[in-house]
Structure 1
């Protein structure tokens, strides 16, 4: 048994009904007083490469107030079949934990560090960790890459929380005046908002946004792409005409399929996935 599972962490294995060949593990990555925060892990079949499988870490949306790891279960199932170890991250939100967005970000960074620390046990390549998320979860994914502060005091800061690539679904990237969440964040936006902290070395990024998103203006996202390109980072932006916030979710299968396929192609372009056009997106 891996050493990190011999401590106070728990492991629950059970078979998923959609595909009996893929098991899910639930691992505690962090404890805050009496609260345990979990990772749900979806593993590929087969053996990893010499350096390990790529990893993909998903943060659910919900305005740092609610939400569920179930949002990205379909994505985790698909990408685990493609050969990526996928993680669904539970983090603190206001409705359940009376927390602020700052604690949500601390948890996100703790999860990234935990996954990288135990890369060998998870059989992943620590240099190929993709962060992904939707809405406020997209903010958390981007913030693990761009925000230097808001680290949990119990974290080992010698382990990087920064992902190697980002896959973002209508992400909250502007928390400044006029942006999403400013009333909760205030002047801290200067150190919390991804848009205001883009720097050289930002990881390659793909972004999906509906043109009728009532929370995230198209012009804001175009500006984000422009700044990313100015610092020399790849940033693909895919706009979906007439679509609202959350259009990419599984219940909207046409757009779920389209965004997953484009994400797959993006990861192929980075060398994280081999081309495989026959795999059904379901």
Structure 2
């Protein structure tokens, strides 16, 4: 029933990611919150129930899923996982997911992990803007899962999107976006809702607007690739970002369409965001692509609309210190 998973990054030598720690619900400080890995360390992880489930025609439009450890005849809650990697790479079984997976399954939660087209696939397929491919793929995957709820054994009304970095951005976009179902479609999958019970995410980008990013965090440099603004040979990051800023007015309709913060409305579900660093709005950050400044600004807008939002960062007084603890409280069928 079990195979091994190698954590794909190295961290300080005294931080060990072991099965017992995983089951205690801890994870790397730079991700979900408490423990990291040696260089690299094999971790026992549950084998997927099924892999390679196609939800579209492209080879990357696939799902894998895990049934809960304790099988039930009743529909189970579901974590809908979207991996990170800048929409240009990553893994359906990344370290964020693998750290949480055993305890999620032990708590009666089904886990579904999405693979999707990357920016490079969008370019090859002439999809514009490029970020449309990964984001709309995840929406289509969600509709596919809902349509096949009996196959996966899930309760479609108890689904929370989870992801890190670009996967977190996509998760927020799904959770905050108006329903993308098409009631008039001849395709029954397209008639399925894309609304979620919520999102619990790790260091997301909450806007893709270079003007907002630069105002919130002056040394921002990320995001141009989402709209086809790529680094040219010899460019440094500030030069590439300056080009993105120059193109902003032309790109603005796309920026607004794919920035999670632009879709906030009073009927949105609760949001949980985990960051490592302390926010400093208007100041340079050590990791401007994953700064908690993103979270502060989204939380402000959500609260203005009356939407529940919990934001974790260093020194914050919050109820849940990890994404895992948030998920277990909101979804667990068999909590410890």
Query: TM > 0.5 between the two?
Result: yes
Aligned mates of 2:177, 2:77 — CA distance in 1: 23
Cα deviation, 1:210-236, whole Å, max 9, x if unaligned, reads: 224321443331121121122222111
Larger Cα Rg: Structure 1 or Structure 2?
2
Aligned mates of 1:260, 1:40 — CA distance in 2: 28
Aligned to 1:240: 314
- Cα RMSD (Å): 2.9
Which one has more relative contact order, counting CA pairs under 8 Å at least 6 apart?
Answer: 2
Q: TM-score, normalised by structure 2?
A: 0.64
Structure 1 unaligned regions, length at least 5:
1-13, 242-258, 278-282
8 Å CA contact 2:60, 2:117 repeated in 1: no
Q: Secondary structure at the match of 2:93?
A: helix
Aligned mates of 1:175, 1:155 — CA distance in 2: 32
Aligned mates of 1:164, 1:49 — CA distance in 2: 22
Aligned to 1:168: 201
Aligned to 1:76: 101
Matching of residue 231 in structure 1 with residue 255 in structure 2: no
Aligned to 2:268: 202
Aligned to 1:129: 159
From the superposition, tell whether residues 104 and 44 of structure 1 become closer, same or farther in structure 2 (CA, over 3 Å): same
Cα deviation, 1:219-260, whole Å, max 9, x if unaligned, reads: 33112112112222211100036xxxxxxxxxxxxxxxxx99
Q: TM-score, normalised by structure 1?
A: 0.75
Aligned mates of 1:44, 1:227 — CA distance in 2: 36
Matching of residue 267 in structure 1 with residue 297 in structure 2: no
1:19 Cα deviation (Å)? 5.8
8 Å CA contact 2:147, 2:188 repeated in 1: no
Task: Tell me whether 94-103 or 196-205 shows the greater mean CA deviation.
Answer: 94-103
Point out the structure with the larger strand share: 1
Aligned mates of 1:31, 1:176 — CA distance in 2: 30
Matching of residue 177 in structure 1 with residue 210 in structure 2: yes
8 Å CA contact 1:147, 1:191 repeated in 2: no
Task: Tell me whether 105-114 or 175-184 shows the greater mean CA deviation.
Answer: 175-184
1:59 Cα deviation (Å)? 0.9
Number of aligned residue pairs:
243
8 Å CA contact 2:160, 2:197 repeated in 1: yes
8 Å CA contact 2:119, 2:134 repeated in 1: no
Aligned mates of 1:19, 1:196 — CA distance in 2: 37
Matching of residue 191 in structure 1 with residue 257 in structure 2: yes
From the superposition, tell whether residues 134 and 264 of structure 1 become closer, same or farther in structure 2 (CA, over 3 Å): closer
Aligned mates of 1:30, 1:205 — CA distance in 2: 26
8 Å CA contact 1:15, 1:24 repeated in 2: no
